[in-house]
Amino acid sequence: MTNFKEEYKKRVTFAIISHPDAGKTTLTEQLLLHGGVIRKAGTVKGRGSNKMASSDWMAIEQQRGISVTSSVLQFNYAGKRINILDTPGHEDFSEDTYRTLMAVDSAVMVIDSAKGIEPQTRKLFEIVSKRHIPIFTFFNKLDRDGRQALDLVDELEKTLGIQAYAMNWPIGSGQVLQGIYDLQRNKFIQYDNVKNPDQSVYNESMEEIELLKDAGNQLDEDKVLRGAQTPVFFGSALSNFGVEQFLTEYLKYAPSPSDKATIDHKEVQPDNDQFTGFIFKIQANMNPNHRDRIAFVRIVSGEFKKGMDVTLARNGKKLKLSNVTQFLADERENIETAVPGDIIGLYDTGNFQIGDSIYTGKQKVEFEPLPTFTPELFNRVIAKDVMKQKSYHKGIRQLVQEGTVQLFESWHGQEYIIGAVGQLQFEVFQFRMANEYNSQVIFEPLGKKIARWIKPDQLDEKMNTSRSILMKDQQDNPVILFENRFALNWFVDKYPDIDLESKL
């Protein structure tokens, strides 16, 4: 029998955030190789090709493009059990990606050394940074000719507003890559495949390192844990260079599962005997024949035991957790127990909603709701068959409740507009409306817009123009959809006293 109070301290639950093509898949794959979960490179995902990810069970079930996957990979390394939560990029990018970041205890930010900070990295960073969770940075593709290390670190600090601390430092890059210098152990690690041994590159880098030691930031663990300082690593995921050092140091500083706040401002500690958890994602249509759904639960406290009875905080409903799955690289596996930090999947027949809390025992535990995010893409939505209004409205209501898309109405309530952070959300919505509610919907794309909420008492209907569309959200709060940044700035100039608010 394992003691969950000891066991959970070994958990490291994190997500990798990056812009597409920075090397997230390649790094994940290397980590799995180190963890012994896979045996050769190239098995996780066909990079740039259409090969399926083994993490991507939706894809395995040939549902790609229909529902979103943020699956979970688990492996053991150096006495820790690591849970990596996948955050899809590319066309899979969606609110699910953001919500997944609510279920991790730290994040690893992968940056392409030739490109520096890219837009999607910045967006994901902002979400993580608002939670003040620790962020570790991996500058990837050191084997390619990239930008100067000092320049990259400078950009990181300036554009993201976070302090950086170099855990290692590159000695050259690309054609003249010699190795990295481990600043923790004061040790030079030679690159396996040095093409041009170049003493001048070495000398120059050593001068930088002396400078860093004298005048650079000090490693401040407390700041790291608050997300105010990011430990920075350089390496090459593809050539497995610097990955092991990264993993070892990361596990040294990465936090174990943390407390979580409830709606009545109490903190639930992981070693609390009462089992609690919250649902951060619902995966629907895994199998169209069964219409099954899986609710992803992040365990916050206590020990999960198969067959246990829990209460759903939202409605007091009692449920037995007997059909539960945990996630491994290649398969879904039935599990008997799990501890704080772990993610379990509950087969759901329609009981759960995103953000739901579950708990054992008599004491009600309801966690703070998950945040909503500012949608960036919008579609006007129309029912194809006007005779099927009932199922159309029911479908929209339920899918919006599940967090598939966000719903808005034009200010006078004539039309529905749905918003999302990623295009795939619309496809999921359309597919599920047709398949689950027998309701074909037509989209009229409004494209990219900037959504800003305003206070009801500041509203003036004159604000509704062709370049700033006035709408209301599901709580009847006024929202303006601006055509572009120019339209937003014009509005700010015209109405300097009005507070415009964005969500996360």
Residue with tokens 């050769």: 40
Give yes or no for a contact between 242 and 188, defined as CB atoms under 8 angstroms apart. no
Contact between 168 and ligand G4P by CB under 6 A: the answer reads no
Pairing assessment for the beta strands 260-261 and 267-268 based on DSSP bridges: antiparallel
Contact between 23 and ligand G4P by CB under 6 A: the answer reads yes
Q: Is 41 exposed, middle or buried (0-12, 13-18, 19+ CB in 10 A)?
A: middle
Q: Is 265 annotated as a binding residue?
A: no
Q: Is 143 annotated as a binding residue?
A: yes
Please report how the helices 243-253 and 24-34 are oriented relative to each other, as an axis angle in degrees rounded to 10: 80
Indicate if the alpha-carbon torsion angle 68, 298, 11, 234 is positive or negative.
Answer: positive
Please report how the helices 149-160 and 119-130 are oriented relative to each other, as an axis angle in degrees rounded to 10: 50
Region from 63-71, 230-238, 342-350, 465-473 binding ligand G4P, contact rule CB under 6 A: 230-238
By C-beta, is 234 or 296 nearer to ligand G4P? Answer: 234
Region from 233-241, 245-253, 406-414, 460-468 binding ligand G4P, contact rule CB under 6 A: 233-241
Q: Is 445 annotated as a binding residue?
A: no
By C-beta, is 238 or 313 nearer to ligand G4P? Answer: 238
* Of the candidate residues 236, 283, 360, 406, the single one contacting ligand G4P (CB under 6 A): 236
Contact between 18 and ligand G4P by CB under 6 A: the answer reads yes
Region from 67-75, 141-149, 216-224, 299-307 binding ligand G4P, contact rule CB under 6 A: 141-149
Q: Please list every residue from 45 through 64 that binds ligand G4P, using CB under 6 A.
A: 47-48
Q: Is 22 annotated as a binding residue?
A: yes
Q: Is 89 annotated as a binding residue?
A: yes
Q: How far is the CB of 449 from ligand G4P (least distance, A)?
A: 27
Q: Is 270 annotated as a binding residue?
A: no
Q: Is 24 annotated as a binding residue?
A: yes
**Total of chain residues touching ligand G4P, rule CB under 6 A:** 18
Contact between 247 and ligand G4P by CB under 6 A: the answer reads no
Q: Is 51 annotated as a binding residue?
A: no
| Total number of residues shown for the chain | 504
Residue from 109, 243, 148, 146 nearest 189 by CA: 243
Residue with tokens 């394992």: 2
Amino acid at 111: I
Q: Give SS3 for 392.
A: helix
* Of the candidate residues 238, 294, 450, 479, the single one contacting ligand G4P (CB under 6 A): 238
Q: Please list every residue from 295 through 354 that binds ligand G4P, using CB under 6 A.
A: none
Q: Is 258 annotated as a binding residue?
A: no
Residue with tokens 């509203």: 459
Contact between 377 and ligand G4P by CB under 6 A: the answer reads no
Q: Is 440 exposed, middle or buried (0-12, 13-18, 19+ CB in 10 A)?
A: middle
C-alpha span between 269 and 277 (Å, rounded): 11
Q: How far is the CB of 22 from ligand G4P (least distance, A)?
A: 5
By C-beta, is 80 or 141 nearer to ligand G4P? Answer: 141
Q: Is 21 annotated as a binding residue?
A: yes
Contact between 34 and ligand G4P by CB under 6 A: the answer reads no
Q: Please list every residue from 60 through 119 that binds ligand G4P, using CB under 6 A.
A: 89
Q: How far is the CB of 93 from ligand G4P (least distance, A)?
A: 11
Contact between 143 and ligand G4P by CB under 6 A: the answer reads yes
**Residue 248, CA distances (Å) to 77, 78, 214, 293, 448 in order:** 9, 8, 25, 36, 42
Q: Give SS3 for 299.
A: strand
Region from 130-138, 140-148, 150-158, 279-287 binding ligand G4P, contact rule CB under 6 A: 140-148
By C-beta, is 24 or 81 nearer to ligand G4P? Answer: 24
Q: Is 360 annotated as a binding residue?
A: no
C-alpha span between 15 and 9 (Å, rounded): 18
Q: Is 23 annotated as a binding residue?
A: yes
By C-beta, is 93 or 437 nearer to ligand G4P? Answer: 93
Q: Which residues are bridge partners to 408 per DSSP? A: 417
CA dihedral 153, 157, 162, 163 (to 10 degrees): 60
Token pair recorded at residue 437: 């509610």
Region from 13-21, 127-135, 400-408, 425-433 binding ligand G4P, contact rule CB under 6 A: 13-21
Token pair recorded at residue 402: 């599940």
Contact between 20 and ligand G4P by CB under 6 A: the answer reads yes
Residue from 426, 470, 423 nearest 451 by CA: 470
262 CB-near residues (< 8 Å, 6+ apart) = 268, 365, 366, 367, 368
Binding residues: 18-25, 86-90, 140-143
List of residues contacting ligand G4P (CB under 6 A): 18, 20-26, 47-48, 89, 140-141, 143-144, 236-238
> Binding site for GTP, residues?
18-25, 86-90, 140-143
